[in-house]
Each structure stands twice: as C-alpha cells, then as structure tokens.
Chains A and B, each alone.
Chain A
Amino acid sequence: MESTNRLLLLAAALAVTLLTSGCTLFRGDKQVEQQQTEEQAAAEEAAEDADSTPPRVIEPNVARRKIKTPKIDNENWEIGAGFGFLSIEDFGTNSTYAGMLTYHVTEDFFFRADLGQSTAGRTSFENLGGEIELLTGDERRFTYYSLSLGYNFLPGEVFLGRDTAMNSSFYVLAGIGSVDFAGDNRLTLNFGAGFRVLPTDWLAIHLGVQDRVFDSDLLGETKVTNNIETVLSATVFF
C-alpha cells in the first residue's frame, strides 16, 4: 500500500516537474524571441547611428578655404587737358587748347593721342594789305590730332626743398596725324619732347613742345610748314 502511494506521489511530482519545466521551456522560447527582437532593434539603431555619424577612426576636418583673389587695378592710361601756344607758320602765334590720351605700354614706351584746337591770326600780308582777308573765320580754325609713340628718355626725380621729391621724366615722341586748316585736311608729321612731373602717383603735370609739319600751298607755292606748339597740361592716371 505504501509503495502505491509512493508511486502516486512520484508520478505527481514528475507531472509537476514536467509541467513546470514545460512552462519554463515555453517561457524561455518567448524570452529568446524577445531577446532576438531587442537585439535586432539595437542593431538597427546602431546601423542608423552609423549612417548619421562617421566612425571615429578618421576625421579629416579639411574645411577648404575659399580664397578670393581680387582683380588688380591696372593704371596704365593717362588722360588730361592743357593750354598753350601754337605758332602757325605765317599766321602768328595763338593760344591753343589740347587734350591728350596716353597708354603706357612699358615703363619706357607709350602711345599717345593728341587733339587740339587753335585759331590762326592774320598774316603779315593781310596786315599790310589793309582789307584783304585770306581766310574766313571758320577757315582760321586750326584743328589737329596726332598719334604718337613716345619714349621716356630721362626718367628721374625733381626736388622741391628738402622734403619733397617728385618723380619726373623727360620724354621724346614722334607720330603722324592730320590738321584741318583753311578748309582742307592735311597729313602731318609731328615730333617733340616733353617734361612730366608727378606730384602724386596719379597726377602728372606736363610741359611739352611739338613741331607739327605739313605741306601747305596757301600762299601760292607748296612749301613745308613748321608749326611749333608749347602746351602745359595736367593729366590723371586711371
């Protein structure tokens, strides 16, 4: 009798153990699943994190500096105007107004365009002859231009007192051009020299003398006329 009781108890204990172990097994599966999903989520999170921040191994913090190189201002052009005297052969010396535009190619050489206007006076023939008028008012207007090549022959400095030194240059130039005088256009050759002083690096004062040579047949025979011009002018570099 006792042995049957023991068997029953044993069976019951076995059943309980089986049941509980089954439960633990069952629960364990669930836990594994839960763990797996947790791991997946963590991995996913990690992957997401990997996308947004770089790995710590290499961090080349090279910020490209943007360097702007400003355009350099070229100041080779010089423009200006002046006033002076022009001696028109046979027609006396008269005031003249002139403008000039220069391009400095090198420190030695430059191209220069001159434009000027003067009004011719009376010839001695007209003065002596009384009422004789060789030219009308319009025809007495002497308008000229010239295109020249110049050479800074003697660059240097001038001194005003002890403290002021100004850059200067003695230059020579020659070129061709044209003159509109006495109702006609004539080809001219011009040559001359000038002195340039620069009180500042952008302002220059010129004193120049040029001879403008052209053929004229105004007084009967054709002859070469020399028309010497002296002009004082101020120019600026730009």
Chain B
Amino acid sequence: MEPSITTTRSRRLRRISLGLSLIFACSLSATALAKETEAEKAAKEAAAQEKLLQVFVSEPYLELSTGPGRGYPVFHVVEREASIDVIYRRTDWFKVRDERGVEGWARAQDMRRTKLADGSPFVFNLGDRSGFTSHDWEIGLGGGRYGGANLISTYGAYSLTDNMKVELTFSQFLGNASNGYKAELGLNHVILPEWRLSPFLELGTGIVYVEPRATIVLPLDRTDQTAYVGAGLRFYLTRRFFVRADYRWHTIFTSRDDNEELEEWKVQIACFF
C-alpha cells in the first residue's frame, strides 16, 4: 500500500507537533525542577556551610562578576580582610559567597592573592606551564591510522609521578576490509616532563575486536589480545592544552598460527587538570 501525499504530510505534521510539545514540556519541567531544587540547594548549602573553604581578601578588594567569563559585569566588591566561602570552581573561575551572603564569580588570578585562615596564601593549580609538568589527570582525543584503517581515538591518563602515567585508550578503526574497536591499558613514561616539547615511551596491553565489513566476505568477528610498544612527542600549546603524537607497534595474539603485527600512529589534542 502506498501512502498518499496528504497522509504522509499529516503524519509528519503530527510528529513535528508532538516533538514540539515534548520539547516544551521538557523545558517547562526543567525550569520547574530548577526552581524546586534551588530552594533545596540553598538549604543544603546552609547546612554544609561549615565544610566550605574560607579565604580572606588580602588585596584592597576582590571583584565578583555575574558569570564565569571575562566579559561578565562586576556587580559586587568584597573589601580587604573580609572572608569569603569558596563554593566551587569552574575552569578558572571560583563561585564564592561573602559574609553577607552575596554570591558571585571571582577570577582565579585574583583568588591566588587571597589568604587562608592561618595567613598562608591560597595555593591551587592555575592551569599553566607548571601544570603541564606536574598534574594529576589528562584527557585527549584525536585521529590517525591503524594498519590501513582510519582511527578515532580517545584517552585518559592518571599521573603516578611527573614522569610516569597510567593510560587508558579507547579507539575505533574503520578500514576497507574490517572495522573494529580496541581498548588498551598501558604505562607512559614522559622522559623530560619540564620541557615544552617532550618525548615519551609507552608500553601496554589490551583487547581488540574486529568485525569484517558487510560487503566483503571474511572470517567471523573475533576478539583478540593485543600488546604494544611505542614512542611519541608531546608539545605544550597554551593554558591547559597540549598536542601529542605517537607511534605504536602492535602485536595481536590471534588464535591462528601467526601473530599479527600492526602499526599505529595518531595525533591527539589533550588537556590536563
């Protein structure tokens, strides 16, 4: 049966109107939720007030903006020696509350010049070059080639020391003959972390899942263990960003007689925090 143009159109209209009403309902409920939980949040915050970090303004004044961005207007000023509570941090802005309960956003650079209750300076990670040398976490994403296939890759790493990191990589590869996914866990040794352009070595293991393309007849899907050694370079760009490029040499422990060997290279943009 072939649907007539009018029925198709009316069905489509019906769907669109349904969609729009859903969106409207969603936004309504979202704002309702926002209002509802705002009151709850205030109560919770009052209860948790003792747990917030208190710092003291040591410059002549501290400016508070309406939003966490350089363009937002300054609407309030906290004077010297007054205390503020640090509610949370978003990127390089701190949401703070002063003694009178006024909440606003203070720049990280300004917060660096405040003091803790014992008079010591308020020290935190500012996300600069020194942070590139020494940080806890990094995440990145990028692409490259794996064997003859295109590779999409994302990774996360945790620093054990400035030199040594534990790294988890998830990748998908898309080739002419087969597609697949792989997940790898490895160690990454940054040889000179304080250098802007720094080489690193890597070693790890993981699993790879390969599925043949629909149009080509190949053996069944398979999951194999894989191991790699590699080397690469990382280059600090600015703020919290760096670029890393690496080459990995993979050995895939197949269930056949021969192990498969594959080359991978990729470029990723990454950030640390």
A115 at interface by CB-CB < 8 Å: no
Asked if B19 is an interface residue, CB under 8 A from chain A, the answer is: yes
Contact A70 to B26, CB < 8 A, known contacts A76-B90, A85-B19, A95-B15: no
B53 contact set on A, CB distance < 8 A = 69-70, 72
**7 A-B residue pairings within 8 Å (CB atoms):** A73-B87, A106-B91, A127-B2, A169-B69, A187-B174, A199-B34, A203-B34
Q: Which of A2-10, A17-25, A37-45, A177-185 contacts B (4 or more CB under 8 A)?
A: A177-185
Q: Which 10 A-B pairs have the closest CB atoms?
A: A73-B88, A167-B67, A147-B141, A183-B214, A185-B179, A105-B271, A155-B69, A187-B174, A67-B118, A107-B91
Q: Does B143 make an interface contact (CB < 8 A)? A: yes
- Given known pairs A149-B269, A178-B172, A232-B23, the reply for A104 and B66 (CB within 8 Å) is no
**Bound form: Cα–Cα A149–B69 in Å:** 19
For chain A, the bracket of interface size reads 35 or more
A199 touches B31 (CB 8 A): yes
Q: CA–CA, A237 to B87, complex, Å?
A: 14
In the assembled complex, A234 has its CB within 8 A of some CB on chain B: yes
- Name the one of A70, A75, A156 contacting B52, with C-beta atoms under 8 angstroms: A70
Contact bitstring A155-188, B, C-beta under 8 A = 1, else 0 = 1110000000101010000011110000111110
Q: Add 4 more A-B contacts to A83-B22, A95-B15 (CB < 8 A).
A: A69-B53, A70-B53, A127-B2, A205-B30
Assembled-state Cα–Cα distance A156/B72 (Å): 7
Q: Does A103 contact B (CB under 8 A)?
A: yes
Interface pair B88/A75, CB less than 8 Å apart: yes
B164 part of interface (Cβ distance < 8 Å): no
Whether B200 sits at the interface, judged by CB under 8 Å, is no
Q: How many residues on chain B are close to A (CB under 8 Å)?
A: 55
CB contact between B95 and one of A70, A104, A152, A201 (< 8 Å): that residue: A201
Q: Are A205 and B69 in contact (CB under 8 A)?
A: no
Dominant secondary structure of chain A at its interface with chain B: strand
B51 interface residue, CB < 8 Å from A?
yes
Q: With a CB–CB cut-off of 8 A, which chain A residues contact B87?
A: 73
Which of A73, A106, A165 makes the CB contact (< 8 A) with B127?
A106
Judge if B240 is at the interface, Cβ distance under 8 Å.
yes
- How close is B106's CB to chain A, nearest CB, in angstroms? 12
Residue contact B34 to A105, C-beta cutoff 8 Å: no
At the interface, yes or no: B230 with Cβ under 8 Å from chain A? no
Contacts of A237 in B (CB 8 A): 90
A107 and B86 contacting across the interface, CB-CB below 8 Å:
no
Return the contact of A95 from the options B19, B33, B38 (Cβ within 8 A): B19
A83 touches B26 (CB 8 A): yes
Residues of B within 8 A of A103 (CB): 139, 271
Q: How far is the CA of A76 from the CA of B272 in the complex (A)?
A: 12
For the complex formed, measure the closest distance between the CB of B134 and the CB atoms of chain A, giving whole angstroms. 17
Q: In the bound complex, do residue A105 and residue B241 qualify as a contact, i.e. CB atoms below 8 Å apart?
A: yes
Interface residues of B (CB under 8 A from A): 2, 15, 19, 22-23, 26-27, 30-31, 33-34, 38, 51-53, 66-72, 86-95, 116-118, 124, 127, 139, 141, 143, 150, 152, 154, 172, 174, 179, 213-215, 239-241, 269, 271, 273
The answer to whether the Cβ of A200 comes within 8 Å of any Cβ in the partner chain is: yes
A54 within 8 A of B: no
Complex interface: chain B residues within 8 A of A69 (CB): 53, 116
B residues in contact with A156, CB < 8 Å? 71
Q: A60 in the interface, Cβ–Cβ < 8 Å?
A: no
A127-147 interface with B by 8 A CB criterion? 127, 130, 147
Name the B residues within 8 Å of A76 (CB-CB).
Answer: 89-91, 273
Bound-state CA distance A155–B70 (Å) is 9
Q: Taking the nearest CB of chain B, how far is it from the CB of A143, in angstroms?
A: 12
Q: How far is the CA of A183 from the CA of B179 in the complex (A)?
A: 11
Give the nearest-CB partner of A69 in chain B: B53
Instruction: Tell yes or no: A109 within 8 A of B by CB.
Output: yes
Bound Cα distance A84, B68 (Å): 29
Q: Nearest chain-A residue to B140 (Cβ)?
A: A111
Bound state CA distance, A184 and B2, in angstroms? 29
Q: With A76-B91, A105-B91, A107-B70 in contact, is A67–B116 under 8 Å at CB?
A: yes
Q: How far is the CB of A102 from chain B (nearest CB, A)?
A: 12
Shortest CB distance A80–B (Å): 10
Candidate in B34, B117, B241 with the most chain A CB atoms within 10 angstroms: B34
Please, how many angstroms separate the alpha-carbon atoms of A187 and B113 in the complex?
Answer: 48
Interface: A65 (CB within 8 A): yes
Cα A187 to Cα B66 in complex, Å, equals 41
